[in-house]
Chain A
């Protein structure tokens, strides 16, 4: 069966510091991968999605970036965090027409 991992689970970072969130999927090959941000328990905002290694599509212009160095690894990064980057970050993988979410990372920028 497929599983999706995210780490860290929680993160507190000062404004202006870099960010790296990692997501890995097990038990499947060549999945579509997604990064979402969720504010205040609602509203899933799609940030990036990838249909293959090195293929990244950005939905919202911002100071975040994503990379897919391996088939089942998806990384969300920032060079300098803003206060507005605080939120709950969810990674998801999709196959065919269904999508499955990871446990999420709670990011607090102070």
Chain B
């Protein structure tokens, strides 16, 4: 199946720094989703985006649905140790979901 290009693959940042990651696709999606996965657990949905250009926040997280509908961005402001994990993007066409390869985030206290 189709896989989205997610970057960076990994990030090591100091506590308090801001984080940016993005996801690109060769296909257009109707919905973009962002998930966080802690070790040994299932991914948890963080943010859902429904239309091109949309900017949505969830606490310190902000995500944007790209204008071309082929990309999306996730920003985390003022990172804290519990932000550690793997972040996945996903594009949805309705019943089908296509996932990025994940960004592993490490926050150094």
Residues on A lying within 8 angstroms of B by beta carbon are: 32, 34, 41-46, 49, 51, 59, 90, 92, 94, 97-104, 106
B97 cross-chain contacts in A, Cβ below 8 A: 34, 46, 94, 99
> How near does chain B come to A4, taking the closest CB pair, in angstroms?
8
Number of interface residues of B (CB under 8 A): 28
Question: Chain A residue with minimal CB distance to B9?
Answer: A42
Q: Please state if B41 and A103 are interface contacts (CB–CB under 8 Å).
A: yes
Residues on B lying within 8 angstroms of A by beta carbon are: 1, 3, 30-31, 33, 35, 37, 39-45, 48, 50, 86, 88, 90, 92, 94-97, 99, 101-102, 104
Bound-state Cα–Cα, A107 to B92, Å: 28
> How near does chain A come to B47, taking the closest CB pair, in angstroms?
10
Bound-state Cα–Cα, A101 to B97, Å: 12
A34 cross-chain contacts in B, Cβ below 8 A: 97
Question: Chain A residue with minimal CB distance to B95?
Answer: A32
> How near does chain B come to A10, taking the closest CB pair, in angstroms?
9
Contact of A97 among B41, B44, B48, B102 (CB under 8 A): B48
Known contacts A42-B101, A43-B101; A97 and B40 CB within 8 A of each other: no
Contact of A101 among B1, B39, B40, B44 (CB under 8 A): B44
A44 cross-chain contacts in B, Cβ below 8 A: 43, 88, 99
Q: Please state if A97 and B1 are interface contacts (CB–CB under 8 Å).
A: no
A43 cross-chain contacts in B, Cβ below 8 A: 3, 99, 101-102
A104 cross-chain contacts in B, Cβ below 8 A: 40-42
Q: Please state if B48 and A46 are interface contacts (CB–CB under 8 Å).
A: no
Known contacts A42-B101, A44-B99, A94-B95; A99 and B1 CB within 8 A of each other: no
